[in-house]
Amino acid sequence: MRAARTDDEIQAALRLRFEVFCKGQGVALEAERDGRDQEAVHLVAVEGPRVIGTCRLLVDDDVARLGRMAVEAAHRGRGVGAALLAEAERAMRGTGADRIRLHAQTAARGVYDRAGYRVLGEEFVEEGIEHVAMEMPLAGEAPVA
């Protein structure tokens, strides 16, 4: 788990997101590619030369926004998502952000619960998929109840 090191790794992350979100879940390409990838920190999980998991982070003032987390189907349930979340927390320390927020698909909420994220409100639909907003304070802060 680490920040993407090359343009090729970022392109591999974008391809994985396309496979998971657009092909697999029917998310429109225009929604998946929102124009913010150039300003994001892209984290990747690599196995040999392949990117098998990814997420991106955008820092807006004191909030790091985690999104576009995708893991290859064959690697789900093996801790890749949890490791990406741990790396995101590590990567965001020292950026000025004091918390990480995300919109979790309700089907994947368990991985965020186990990582210490807490629900911020009611469920909602985004791109036809049930989500819930979640947040976790960065190191040194108590979790939001």
Tokens 């098998």 label which residue? 52
CA–CA dist 59, 25 (Å, integer): 26
- Extents of the domains making up the chain: 2-98
Q: What is the CATH number of domain 2-98?
A: 3.40.630.30
pLDDT by residue (tens digit) across 104-145?
A: 999 999 999 999 999 999 999 999 999 999 999 996 544 444
DSSP string across 99-144: EEEEEEEGGGHHHHHHTT-EE-S--EEETTEEEEEEEEE-TTSPPP
pLDDT by residue (tens digit) across 23-49?
A: 999 999 999 999 999 999 999 999 999
Tokens 């820092």 label which residue? 59
Output the pTM of the full model: 0.89
C-alpha angle with apex 11: 68 to 28, nearest 5 degrees? Answer: 45
